[in-house]
Amino acid sequence: VQLQASGGGSVQAGGSLRVSCTASGRTLSRYTTAWFRQAPGKEREFVANIRRSLSSSTTAYDDSVKGRFTISRDNAKNTVYLQMNSLKFEDTAVYYCGATERHVAGPMTRADDYSYWGQGTQVTVSS
Per-residue pLDDT tens digits for 42-101: 999 999 999 988 888 899 999 999 999 999 999 999 999 999 999 999 999 999 999 999
Residues present in the chain in total: 127
At 27-39, the pLDDT tens digits run 999 999 999 999 9
Give CA torsion, residues 104, 26, 24, 39, to 10 deg.
Answer: 0
DSSP state of 3: E
Residue 103 has pLDDT above 90, yes or no: no
Nearest to 28 by CA among 113, 101, 94: 101
SS3 40: coil
Residue 25, pLDDT above cutoff 90: no
What's the rounded Cα separation, in Å, for the pair 87 and 67? 11
The DSSP secondary-structure symbol of 106 reads S
